[in-house]
A and B are shown apart, each in its own frame.
Chain A
Amino acid sequence: MSDKVLYVMYDDDEVLKNSAKKLVAKGVKISEVFSPFPIHGIDPIIGVKNTRLGIMAFLYGLTGLTLATIGMRYFMVVDWPMNIGGKPNFSYLENMLAFVPISFEFTVMCAAHGMAITYLLRNKTLPGMPAQNPDPRTTDDKFVMEIRLSENHNVTEAELDGMLQEIGYLELDKKEIK
């Protein structure tokens, strides 16, 4: 199915945000915004949900803590209770204080790396991936809204053009996608 995509460019984040607000109020669905830096407050306007990566970080951290606890209990208490100055490690609890630093470090290591890897995978930003921004200037000082006609059945292309004329923009680019 062929589709038509409108790239509406602005040179200011605040102007883009106001235009997006007006378009959404008229029932237009904005499918994507490309910007050189995070535009604060754009997410609720275009319907981007908050990320759940924070929950993932917590779960990875919990995994790290569990692994560290199981590991150190096995190495130091079960497999070979190391006898230091006549004080062998008889139970995990008795010796727990010495295990705090590594438990902490390992928790942080798993949380940080787990979250970072998940972040890169979810973004599909990995070494060698092609860039997908519609215009190279969107990583410099331009801000682009992407509107797909297939997602906006309630308005025609001509109506959309009219709205954009009224709201204003810097550049408008249209692309056919097959």
Chain B
Amino acid sequence: MQKEAAIREPLILGHKTYHDVTEDVCRPIEDKAPKMWYILFGIALVIGLYGVGSILYLLGTGIGVWGLNKTIGWAWDITNFVWWVGIGHAGTLISAVLLLFRQKWRMAINRSAEAMTIFAVFMAGTFPLIHMGRLWVGYWVMPIPNQFGSLWVNFNSPLLWDVFAISTYLSVSLVFWYIGLIPDFATIRDRAKKPLAKKMYGILSFGWSGRAKHWNRFELVSLVLAGLATPLVFSVHSIVSFDFATSVIPGWHTTIFPPYFVAGAVFSGFAMVQTLLLIMRKAMGLEAYIHTKHVEYMNIVIMVTGSIVGTAYITELFISWYSGVEYESYAFINRATGPYWWAYWSMMTCNVISPQLMWIRRLRRSLLFTFFISIVVNIGMWFERYVIIVTSIHRDYVPAAWSMHFPSHIDIAVYIGTIGLFFVFFLLFARYFPVLALNEVKTILKGSGQSYKESPDYHKHH
């Protein structure tokens, strides 16, 4: 058993036993769902289905139903893609990077953060797929021998790198998440009373029995997967940023993009984790496991990554002037003072100013304030992508081609629809899956539990 300093706040509040941990996590799954769950699920499902309908209409008609034009060939579609991928960065960062750094506070939040990651990457993947227009030939992005002659996909293209990056990230995150879920499914299986639940969780738990050798393998597999997933977290958004950075468009052709995108992704991902967990801990009675200290830790991550993002914005602005390239300078002057000034300044306010408020201890420990800022950050990060994508291309080299982007009804419906689908998935997860890595939490109960830390024996040397 590992001990920690007395001045560290306990990670598990109250007087919990091993059995209490099991009870607290399994009860919401075994009890009937509250009325609120059905209401939220209904709303999310309606919005999600509206999005699915819009996607089907888009596939049947063609991507001309979006508000794109000859000058602005990328707008909401790629904005939404990058926004969702960014959100999908927190989960694996929490479960992999924090595992390598032995941060134990991750244990209460990694399961749901990673579920969120997986669902967010699902949503992200939708956009490039439907942007193909002819979704049914989507498999052409794979290097498959074919009858068109020596026709291979272009391995020099960052868009293809993205195909590999996103699919690797999604599948590895999914495996990492599921390997951790297996022992927890076994706990639910062994408690289940209804035959159907017992059968279902029996299948999901793969016959896990908790043998010493299996736990030995489990710990190594978790560690190695964390080691593999850590560079993945950084590579995915770097590669997403290459989609822009390797082009020759002023405003996109920027070497600062990879680190700037990664910081932005972690920034928005943690904001989404805060939004979801602040509601979930309350609704499911998990306040003892996810409490103010956890929220504060996450707010510190938001503050740090937010500061990196702010620094990147200002660096970008400075370099555009310092480069002496008039097209480059214009791209940035146009962002701040052109017809899209409102988007630029929304982005600046939400992403540069709001995280700085987290320096104040009282604010970063306030749950209500955190919830508010988490929404602000997510709005700001959507505007960041919109600003980068649309303002850089809407006024190109030929003034006769200058244009504006107006989202069509389908643009909006597909975006809102993915938010609906995301919540459909997340609500199903919260209802049927253990939202806390309950067996992992038990390993820190004696080291970081309040009742153990406060007992007179805790600080004695054994």
Binding site for B on A (CB under 8 A): 11, 14, 32-40, 42-43, 46, 48, 50-51, 53-54, 57, 61, 71-72, 75-76, 79-80, 82, 84, 89, 95, 98-99, 101-102, 104-106, 108-109, 111-113, 115-116, 119-120, 122-133, 136-141
Contact = CB atoms under 8 A, between A and B. Distances in A.
B171 interface: yes
Interface residues of B, number: 65
Interface string B214-243: 111111110011001101100100010010
Given A48-B212, A105-B165, A109-B171, A57 B155 contact: no
Given A102-B161, A105-B165, A109-B172, A132 B207 contact: yes
A6 to B, nearest CB: 16
A39 B215 contact: yes
Contacts of A104: 231, 235
A32 B213 CA distance: 8
Given A37-B443, A38-B216, 17 more contacts: A11-B18, A33-B211, A35-B215, A36-B442, A37-B442, A38-B218, A42-B212, A80-B151, A99-B155, A101-B158, A101-B239, A104-B231, A108-B232, A128-B202, A131-B189, A132-B211, A141-B19
B215 A131 contact: no
Contacts of B189: 131, 139
Interface in B167-225: 167-168, 171-172, 175-176, 179, 182-183, 186-187, 189-191, 202-221, 224-225
Contacts of B235: 101, 104-105
Nearest to B210: A34
Given A53-B220, A99-B155, A131-B207, A105 B161 contact: yes
B154 interface: yes
5 contacts: A37-B183, A38-B443, A51-B216, A75-B153, A108-B168
Nearest to B157: A98
B175 A116 contact: yes
Contacts, number: 198
A133 B189 CA distance: 12
A116 B186 contact: no
A14 B219 CA distance: 19
Nearest to B443: A37
B432 interface: no
B150 interface: yes
A44 B216 CA distance: 11
A75 B143 contact: yes
Nearest to A72: B155
Given A105-B165, A115-B225, A131-B189, A139 B212 contact: no
Interface of B: 1, 17-19, 22, 143, 150-156, 158, 160-161, 164-165, 167-168, 171-172, 175-176, 179, 182-183, 186-187, 189-191, 202-221, 224-225, 228-229, 231-232, 235, 239, 242, 439-440, 442-443
Contact of A38 (B19, B154, B167, B215): B215
Contacts of A46: 212
Contact of A75 (B155, B168, B207, B208): B155
Nearest to A109: B168
B442 A129 contact: no
A69 B242 CA distance: 21
